[in-house]
C-alpha cells in the first residue's frame, strides 16, 4: 500500500455504544467518493459491486468464512469447499449475473492433503456446474496463537457479468411491488439449533436440514430469469426480515410480509409456530432470492421461475411508509426481535 487511507470518521468517545457490523462499515469504510470512479456503477451497499465494462456490467462480490464463526471445526471439507463458493454465487445470482470466474484466498494451519483434496473437490464440483473458473488467489499459513493454530479462513471473490444496465440491485423496489421469495426458508437455522442441541429432529428431517446448511444451492438460474422483470433483488443470508430491511432501506420504502404465506422448509412445518417464525423470518443462511416485482408482472414472474426450475412464492407488498411489518394468519403483527445476524451484535 502506498499511503495510509484517510477517513473522515471521528474517533469514538468512551461512552459510544459498540458499533454493529453495518454501523462499522458505514462509519469506517463507506466514503462519499466511493461511487465516483467512472467504471464503478455501484459501490458499497449491495450484494455485488457493479462495474461498467464496455457492452457489459461486471458484478463482483467477496465473502469470508472463518472456522468457529461460519463453520464448525469438524465440518466436512467437501461441503466447506461447496459452501465457500456457493455464498458468492448467491450474491451473483442476486445481481442477475452469469458467473465468470473467482479468486480463492486461504489461511491454513497445516498442509492436510486429505482435507485439501476434499475441499477442492467440493469447490470445483460447484464451480464446474456453473462454468465458473478459478482465476487466482493467495495461500498462507494460519499463525500459531497460544497453544493452538489460528482458524482456517477461506475468502472467495467472484465475478459475474450481465448485459449493460441489466444488473439487479436492492435499490429499485417501488411502492406497490409484490414481494417474492424462492424455495423454502428456515432449514439452515433449524439445522443450527439441532447442532447446538436445542431441538431434536427425525433423521430424514435432520439430513435435509443439514444438507441445506452445508450445501446451499445458489439460485443463479432464477437470478438470470428475473432480468427485466424484478425491480429489486437481494439474497437471503442474514434472515428474511433482516435482508428485506436492507432492501427497504436501499429503496427508501417499507414492506408488509404475510408471515403465514412464507414458504417453510418441510422439517419446520411440524414445529411450534414460534420456532417456525424464528427460523423462517429471522434465521440465516438460506441463500434464497428475495425480490420485488410489479403486480402486473405476476404471471411473468411465475413463468420465469418455472423456466428456471425454481419455486417462488409471493408473500408481501412494498409500501411508501418506511415500516417493516410481518403479519400472522389473523392479521396481527408478529414481534420481531433480533431480526437478523449481525457479527458484532
Ligand atoms: P452480503 O450479505 O450480500 O455479502 P453484507 O450485508 O455482508 O452483504 O454487506 C453489505 C455491504 O457492505 C456490501 O455491499 C459489502 O460489499 C459491504 N462491506 C462489507 N464489509 C465491508 C468492508 N469491510 N469494507 C467495505 N465494504 C464492506
Ligand atoms: Mg448477499
In the chain the first and final C-alpha atoms are separated, in Å, by 31
Residue with cell 428474511: 240
Size of the chain, expressed as the number of residues it contains: 345
CA dist 156 → 62, 80, 106, 139 (Å): 6, 12, 9, 12
Write out the three cell numbers for 265.
422448509
Name the grid cell of 131. 462454468
Residue 3 is predicted with a pLDDT of: 37
Alpha-carbon distances, residue 240 vs 10, 88, 134, 247 (angstroms): 33, 18, 31, 11
Which three cell numbers, joined as nine digits, stand for 15?
461512552
Task: Give the cell for residue 259.
Answer: 408471515
Give nearest CA residue, ligand 1 atom 19: 25
Predicted confidence pLDDT, tens digits, the chain (345 residues) = 333 334 445 566 666 788 888 899 989 998 876 557 889 999 999 999 999 999 999 999 999 999 999 998 889 999 999 999 999 999 999 999 999 999 999 999 999 999 999 999 999 999 999 999 999 999 999 988 887 888 999 999 999 999 999 999 999 999 999 999 999 999 999 999 999 999 999 999 999 999 999 999 999 999 999 999 999 999 999 999 999 999 999 999 999 999 999 999 999 999 999 999 999 999 999 999 999 999 999 999 999 999 999 999 999 999 999 999 999 999 999 987 765 666 665
Q: Pick from 22, 44, 60, 285 the residue to mutate for probing ligand 1's pocket: most ligand atoms within 8 Å of its CB.
A: 44
pLDDT for the residue numbered 239: 94
Report the distance separating Cα 308 and Cα 304, nearest Å: 6
Contact 155, 102 (CB under 8 A): no
Task: Say how many Å lie between the CA of residue 144 and the centre of ligand 1.
Answer: 29
61 CA closest ligand 1 atom index: 16
What number does the ligand 1 atom closest to the CA of 235 have? Answer: 3
E strand or H helix that includes residue 256: strand 254-258
> Are β-strands 324-327 and 254-258 bridged in parallel, bridged antiparallel, or unpaired?
parallel
- Find the 273 Cα to ligand 2 centroid distance in Å: 27
Ligand 1 neighbourhood includes 29 CB (under 6 angstroms): yes
Exposed / middle / buried, residue 285 (Cβ in 10 Å: 0-12, 13-18, 19+): buried
Q: How far does the centroid of ligand 1 lie from the alpha carbon of residue 186, in Å?
A: 23
Amino acid at each position: 500500500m502506498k499511503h495510509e487511507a484517510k477517513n473522515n470518521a471521528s474517533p469514538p468517545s468512551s461512552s459510544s455504544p459498540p458499533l454493529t457490523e453495518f454501523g462499522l462499515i458505514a462509519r469506517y469504510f463507506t466514503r462519499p467518493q466511493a461511487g465516483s470512479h467512472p467504471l464503478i456503477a455501484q459501490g458499497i451497499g449491495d450484494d455485488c459491486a457493479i462495474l461498467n465494462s464496455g457492452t457489459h456490467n461486471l458484478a463482483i462480490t467477496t465473502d469470508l468464512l472463518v472456522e468457529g464463526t461460519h463453520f464448525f471445526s469438524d465440518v466436512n471439507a467437501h461441503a466447506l469447499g461447496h459452501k465457500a463458493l456457493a455464498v458468492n454465487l448467491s450474491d451473483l445470482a442476486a445481481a442477475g449475473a452469469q458467473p465468470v470466474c473467482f479468486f480463492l484466498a486461504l489461511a491454513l494451519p497445516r498442509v492436510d492433503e486429505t482435507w485439501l483434496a476434499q475441499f477442492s473437490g467440493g469447490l470445483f464440483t460447484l464451480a464446474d456446474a456453473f462454468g465458473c473458473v478459478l482465476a487466482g488467489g493467495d495461500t498462507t499459513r494460519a499463525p500459531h496463537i497460544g497453544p493452538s493454530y489460528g482458524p482456517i479462513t477461506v475468502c472467495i471473490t467472484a465475478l459475474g457479468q450481465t448485459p449493460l444496465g441489466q444488473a439487479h440491485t436492492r435499490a429499485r423496489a417501488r411502492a406497490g411491488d409484490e414481494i417474492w421469495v424462492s424455495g423454502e426458508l428456515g432449514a439452515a437455522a433449524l439445522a443450527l439449533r439441532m447442532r447446538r442441541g436445542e431441538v431434536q429432529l427425525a433423521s430424514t428431517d435432520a439430513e435435509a436440514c443439514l444438507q441445506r446448511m452445508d450445501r446451499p444451492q445458489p439460485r443463479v438460474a432464477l437470478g438470470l430469469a428475473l432480468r427485466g422483470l424484478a425491480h429489486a433483488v437481494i439474497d437471503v443470508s442474514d434472515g428474511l426480515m433482516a435482508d428485506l430491511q436492507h432492501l427497504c432501506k436501499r429503496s427508501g420504502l417499507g414492506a408488509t410480509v404475510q408471515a403465514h404465506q412464507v414458504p417453510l422448509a418441510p422439517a419446520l412445518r411440524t414445529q411450534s409456530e414460534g420456532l417456525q417464525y424464528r427460523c423462517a423470518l429471522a434465521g440465516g443462511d438460506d441463500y434464497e432470492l428475495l425480490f420485488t416485482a410489479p403486480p402486473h408482472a405476476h404471471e411473468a414472474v411465475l413463468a420465469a421461475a418455472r423456466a428456471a426450475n425454481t419455486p417462488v412464492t409471493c408473500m408481501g407488498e412494498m409500501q411508501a411508509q418506511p415500516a417493516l411489518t410481518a403479519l400472522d394468519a389473523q392479521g396481527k403483527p408478529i414481534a420481531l426481535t433480533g431480526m437478523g445476524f449481525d457479527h458484532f451484535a
